[in-house]
Amino acid sequence: MIFNIAKLPGDGIGPEIVEQAVKAIDAVCVKFGHKVNYTSALVGACAIDATGEPYPAETHKVCMESDAVLFGAIGDPRFDNNPNAKVRPEQGLLKMRKELGLYANIRPVTTFAELAHKSPLRIDLVEGADLVCIRELTGGLYFGRPQGRSEDGNTAYDTCVYNRDEITRICKLGFEYAMARRKQLTVVDKANVLATSRLWREVAKEMEKDYPEVKVEYMFVDNAAMKLVTQPKYFDVMVTENMFGDILTDEASVITGSLGLLPSASIGVHTSLFEPIHGSYPQAAGKNIANPIATILSAAMMFEYAFKLYDEGKAIRNAVAESLKQGIVTEDIAGDGQPYGTDQVGDFIKQQILK
């Protein structure tokens, strides 16, 4: 097979970690007889510097013409809390999601046995934790209109908007994932307060009849937040709206002990995007210390979700597991062991795939 992949390294550590994922992709293609073509494009602060836009039209064109998008990270401290910034890197991410129709963010949360002791939770709570968070990406408060501030600047407002089609689309994905796993779906909302949440619950209940094997539970977001840290093994598949999902998935990510281990996929109408869940970590940029494993595992998700090539994805996962087992890891998870550089971890995983 021939794959056309848009490569969007972005800001901070993005270029370094994407480079390691490319090593893994190339190794898989050698091993399984595929060919890959990469087209690089700008997004985020580096795109603002070059073009004035965080998601330029040329970048969008590259993404639209690709089979999948491999994305690093967005963010630059120059734009943080800067009242003079007319445009911000993060606006590029929102625009990319909207224009590519990236409506669902999928984050698997799996505890690695070798690193369970690094979780802030007790080992008995996290060992065996295995859940999938599905977050709606194109609706809710982040995109609702009207949005703004009063003329005197003393009042600000955001509008949370969802329609039935948006909810049906994301819930369908949730039901399908549950069917493929342990057949348990948790719909997270705030239906006791929010009209949008009541619509979410109404739509999901209507869909239950189409998936009679799935056990569906409806849970308020505050209860879900508590249960994630007290009973993470309780969950199988969780589906929720944009802002709730943003918060809950970040909370769930620390269960594993490191943000540097968790991949994600954003499923889209036009193409799909694969990225680590962590940010641009500008303090580490260029120091060869960033953990590339989340990005490499995002490449595994790319083979599985975009190309339906599960053996190829498994080859990457097995190589990552071996790097953890042998302690070939970066300083954030090395503990008392010898830390390895970003590129050394990437090279080791590449060689494991080629074995």
pLDDT one digit per residue (tens) for the chain, 355 residues? 999 999 999 999 999 999 999 999 999 999 999 999 999 999 999 999 999 999 999 999 999 999 999 999 999 999 887 777 889 999 999 899 889 999 999 999 988 877 777 788 888 898 889 999 999 998 999 988 998 999 998 999 999 999 999 999 999 999 999 999 999 999 999 999 999 999 999 999 999 999 999 999 999 999 999 999 999 999 999 999 999 999 998 888 888 777 778 899 999 989 999 999 888 999 999 999 999 999 999 999 999 989 999 999 999 999 999 999 999 999 988 888 899 999 999 999 999 999 9
For tokens 């949005």, the residue is 147
Query: What does R_g of the chain's alpha carbons equal in angstroms?
Result: 20
Identified catalytic residue from 55, 142, 281, 305:
142
Q: Tally Cβ neighbours within 10 Å of residue 57.
A: 10
CATH class for the domain made up of 1-102+268-355:
alpha beta
Q: What is the pLDDT of residues 116-164, one digit of tens each?
A: 777 888 888 988 899 999 999 989 999 889 989 999 989 999 999 999 9
Residue with tokens 């979700």: 305
Q: At 183, phi and psi to the nearest 5? A: 60, 40
The pLDDT assigned to 82 comes to 76
Residue 73 backbone class (left: φ over 0; alpha: ψ -120 to 50; beta: rest): beta
Active site residue 142: yes
Q: Is 192 exposed, middle or buried (0-12, 13-18, 19+ CB in 10 A)?
A: exposed
Q: How many CB atoms lie within 10 A of CB 10?
A: 29
Marked catalytic residue, from 67, 246, 343, 347: 246
Tokens in use for 293? Answer: 């494993």
Q: Of these residues, 49, 80, 165, 222, which one is catalytic?
A: 222
Q: How crowded is the C-beta side of 189, counted as CA atoms within 13 Å?
A: 23
Q: Which of 334, 254, 352, 337 is closest to 296 using CA atoms?
A: 352
| Phi, psi values for residue 69, rounded to 5° | -120, 125
Confidence at residue 121, expressed as pLDDT on a 0 to 100 scale: 87
pLDDT of res. 71: 98
The active-site residue out of 190, 218, 233, 343 is: 190
Q: What local confidence, expressed as pLDDT, does residue 94 receive?
A: 87
What's the confidence (pLDDT) of residue 4? Answer: 97
> The pTM is what?
0.86
Query: Would residue 250 show up in a list of annotated catalytic residues for this protein?
Result: yes
What is the structure's pLDDT at 341? Answer: 98
Q: Please give the pLDDT value at position 224.
A: 98
Every domain of the chain with CATH number 3.40.718.10 lies at 1-102+268-355, 120-256
Find out if CATH 3.40.718.10 is the number for domain 120-256. yes
Active-site annotation holds for 190 = yes
Residue 266: per-residue pLDDT: 95
Look at residue 150 in the predicted model and tell me its pLDDT.
92
Within 8 A by CB and 6+ apart from 175, the residues are 185, 207, 210, 211, 214
